[in-house]
Amino acid sequence: MHTPIYEFLTRYAAQDPLRMHMPGHKGRGLGSALDAAFPLDITEIPGADSLFDAAGIIAESEANAAAWYHTAGTVYSTAGSTLCIQTMLALMQQEHRRVLAVRNVHRAFLTASVLLGLEVEWIYPTYTGGILSGTVTPAQIAAALDASPTPACVYVTSPDYLGHCADIAGIAAVCHAHQAPLLVDNAHGAHLGLFSPSRHPIALGADLCCDSAHKMLPALTGCAYLHTSQPRYAARAKAAMSLFGSTSPSYLLLASLDLCNAYLAEHGAADLARVTAALTMLRQELSDCWRFYPGEPLHLTICAAESGMEGTELAQRLEGEGIFCEYADRDFTVLLCGCPTTLQELQRLQDALRRIAALRGQPRQPEPFSLPVPEQVCSMRRAALGDYETVPVEAAEDRICAGVHVPCPPAIPIAVSGERISGACINIFRRYGIPTVDVVK
């Protein structure tokens, strides 16, 4: 596949140009391992195009991504899926839509809701993985849409942090029957289009979705795609994104997305098949000592407590073997594989898990998790942007939550801005080691 952004940058660097433009490093590094990147780091010089007004090499590269993902339009983000989520919600606000969101969202959704002044109606999932995972059915979505007094959209996070995938096809069918756009935070699923048939949200009927390319694909941190299946959103996505995005997007990240397109087209499917097969074998080989959470294949989530070890202890012991996990709490240890993960790396992980298994104790069932429906006292925006104070969780009962920092990434928010903090919430804060909370003064 042609990589127009990367090819432009390498041609420009090869000219040994006199760079009388930004950035100030002038294409030269400081004698470090990063030096090779500096010559490719440029600004919007002639021929380099402009991210939010793309008509040249960036537009061509984005068209390559759209063709591969089979979308009506794909645009790049150099600020991760956070910028894509802000854009999706801004597009919904332009249509004056009420937001119905399944309550296992990333912090980026909450901050975008504050900035845009959105009033969110929560759909509560069935909790299957503590604070990190929940299941919602198309029937629940249909009931929420039936009850909505105004035109609405539906916001779903899938895959979630443990790797569980929602029934996007079923939810999309319900949404379309109600003329409600479906938005999917697919930050953990940029690779899902590599499966045959595709498991990508756009292929399953989503109207808008974001992919964090850097999470599972060979792309630099901050690289993300915003996809849409609807031409009307494709025409307006750039303008909406420019409301939040930096006017100095990184060309290194744009080039990384450009190269990622070529990887998807030329190597991605074969790599995914290889890694998926190896992970299936790893799970089978270790099934006598470790229980694995069911989900999409590249999320290797170990039900550590049910296997006889605290998730945090397992993470520490893996670290002692030179293996660093994505996340750990008392119940789970989350290891994220990528499409380029090698068989040798997976064998090293398997050997380490086999050694650590000898140190297990008695299995423990995770504590049941439930979140009582909170009382919304004031708007998220008013609470988050007003005066606040930080108090110990023990002193927070009946206070109004101000902060949006409470949930861990993508998880079920214990309390969000504008909600009254109950005694049940305080117990959950303690369970997850959260010592303080911001409350409205």
DSSP label of 436: E
CB 351 within 8 A of CB 384: no
Query: Averaged over 200-220, what is the pLDDT?
Result: 99
CB contact at 8 A, 406 and 414: yes
Domain ranges of the chain: 4-101+151-264, 286-357, 380-440
Cα pseudo-dihedral 248, 338, 134, 98, rounded to 10: 30
The mean predicted confidence, pLDDT, of the chain is: 95
Residue 56 bridge partners (DSSP): none
Determine contact, residues 90/84, Cβ cutoff 8 Å. Answer: no
Note the pLDDT of residue 406.
54
CA–CA gap between residue 396 and residue 418 (Å, rounded): 13
Does pLDDT of 34 surpass 70? yes
Q: Which pLDDT score, from 0 to 100, does residue 11 have?
A: 98
Q: Which residue has the tokens 């339009």?
A: 73
pLDDT band at 222 (very low <50, low <70, confident <90, very high): very high
What is the tens place of the pLDDT at every residue in 73-104? 999 999 999 999 999 999 999 999 999 999 98
- C-alpha span between 364 and 316 (Å, rounded): 19
Q: Look at residue 262 in the predicted model and tell me its pLDDT.
A: 99
For residue 433, what pLDDT is reported?
84
Nearest to 68 by CA among 175, 211, 173: 211
Gap between the Cα atoms of 370 and 127, Å rounded = 7
Q: What's residue 208's pLDDT?
A: 99
The CATH class that applies to domain 4-101+151-264 reads alpha beta
State the virtual CA torsion across 171, 175, 181, 187 in degrees, nearest 10: -10
Whether 407 has a pLDDT exceeding 60, the answer reads no
Q: Amino acid identity of 285?
A: E
- Specify the pLDDT at position 248: 96
Distance CA 22, CA 42 (A): 7
For domain 286-357, give the CATH number. 3.90.1150.10
435 CB burial (10 A radius; 0-12, 13-18, 19+): exposed
Higher pLDDT, 297 or 372: 297
Range with the poorest average pLDDT among 160-164, 240-244, 277-281, 299-303 = 160-164
- At the topology level, CATH places domain 380-440 in Molybdopterin biosynthesis moea protein, domain 2 (3.90.105)
- Global pTM? 0.96
Short-list 196, 238, 191, CA closest to 215? 191
- Which comes out higher in pLDDT, residue 314 or 409? 314
DSSP, res 37:
G
Q: What is the pLDDT of residue 410?
A: 60
- What is the CA angle 137-212-198, rounded to 5? 55
* Residue 270: per-residue pLDDT: 98
Q: What is the pLDDT of residues 108-148, one digit of tens each?
A: 999 999 999 998 999 998 887 677 788 899 999 999 999 99
Mean pLDDT in residue range 302-328: 98
The per-residue pLDDT for 112 is 96
